[in-house]
Amino acid sequence: MPHYIPFLVLIIISVLIFVFVLWNTRDKKLIILLFFMIGLAYVLEYFILVLFKSYQYNPNFVHKTDLDNILGSLVSQAFAFPVIAVLIGAYQLKFRYIVLISFIFMGIEELFISLGVYIQYWWKTIYTGIFMTIGFVIAKTWHAWLSDRFERWIHVLNLFFSLLAINTTIMLFLLAMFKTHSIHVGWFQSETRDVLSFNTLYVWLLTALYSWGILKRSLTMLGCFFLGFRIADFVLLSTDILVLPKWNSLGFFALLDVVVILFTAKYH
């Protein structure tokens, strides 16, 4: 069986569950909750997977091992985990069901190991169960807060983590499908890990600053941040840290930032 089959099955099941829950509840807040949980998952995955190489996915989506690993991770962090978290939040499932679902995820992880599409290094399956349980409790609590109360800090965190999820996914898609750029900071021997380790932080900083500007409703702040990122891009390109293919230019990133700013304003 091709390695990508189990991952595609997870994606299809996740999409069907999310569509069913959204249709059944007619609760648009679930979309916000979904992006919020993806953002949280990305932050955790950055540390345990990209920086500390806890495990490896082998879906065989692409030929580069590290990039294939990241794409395999997206199946879990952008589909399976956040969708089930949304289901738990939407129906406010009791803690015993949360624990049961966490055990099911542990079983899926062991199945993936037996199929040879997933390898653990220092990571243990019990860690997955613990973090899944914590994440599901957060989702249940966060959905209740979205429904029953409105405070500015909740809105700020929703905006940041949702956009972090969206912007990081766009970055990974551009790198994987179009090879828009490469960044070499020398943190890791692997080119892909080196690119992702710095690029992810750069995208998160960009997300945080543009979100701040939108929350403050300040065109001056947004203009300063936009100019600052253009200067940073130029410096990285001039020092050969940032490498662009022949078809690409810094204008592409400027245009992409404009799209990010407009989308952030709309999402806000």
pLDDT in tens, the chain (268 residues): 789 999 999 999 999 999 999 999 999 999 999 999 999 999 999 999 999 999 999 999 888 788 888 889 999 999 999 999 999 999 999 999 999 999 999 999 999 999 999 999 999 999 999 999 999 999 999 999 998 877 888 999 999 999 999 999 999 888 888 889 888 899 998 888 888 999 999 999 999 999 999 999 999 999 999 999 999 999 999 999 999 998 999 999 999 999 999 999 988 8
Residue 58 confidence (pLDDT): 93
Answer with the one of 128, 148, 168 that is the final residue of a domain. 148
Residue 144 confidence (pLDDT): 93
How many Cα atoms within 13 Å fall on the side-chain side of residue 206? 29
140 and 77 part of one domain: yes
21 and 114 part of one domain: yes
C-alpha distances in angstroms, 179 versus 22, 58, 95, 243? 34, 20, 43, 10
Residue 132 confidence (pLDDT): 97
37 and 131 part of one domain: yes
109 and 204 part of one domain: no
102 and 178 part of one domain: no
144 and 157 part of one domain: no
Instruction: Give me the domain span that covers residue 227.
Output: 153-267
Q: List phi, psi (to 5°) of 242.
A: -95, 125
Answer with the one of 148, 178, 197 that is the final residue of a domain. 148
Phi/psi-derived region of residue 183, left when phi > 0, alpha when psi is between -120 and 50, beta in every other case: beta
CB 133 within 8 A of CB 23: no
28 and 118 part of one domain: yes
Residue 191 confidence (pLDDT): 83
- Residue whose C-alpha is closest to residue 198's, from 209, 208, 189, 187: 187
8 and 139 part of one domain: yes
Residue listed under structure tokens 């992006």: 35
226 and 190 part of one domain: yes
- What size, in residues, is the chain? 268
Quote the pTM value: 0.94
116 and 159 part of one domain: no
171 and 125 part of one domain: no
Phi/psi-derived region of residue 168, left when phi > 0, alpha when psi is between -120 and 50, beta in every other case: alpha
167 and 226 part of one domain: yes
Rounded Cα gap, residues 79 and 10, in angstroms: 8
Q: How many domains does the chain have?
A: 2
Residue 135 confidence (pLDDT): 97
Residue 64 confidence (pLDDT): 78
Answer with the one of 105, 131, 148 that is the final residue of a domain. 148
- Structural tokens at position 87: 């289901």
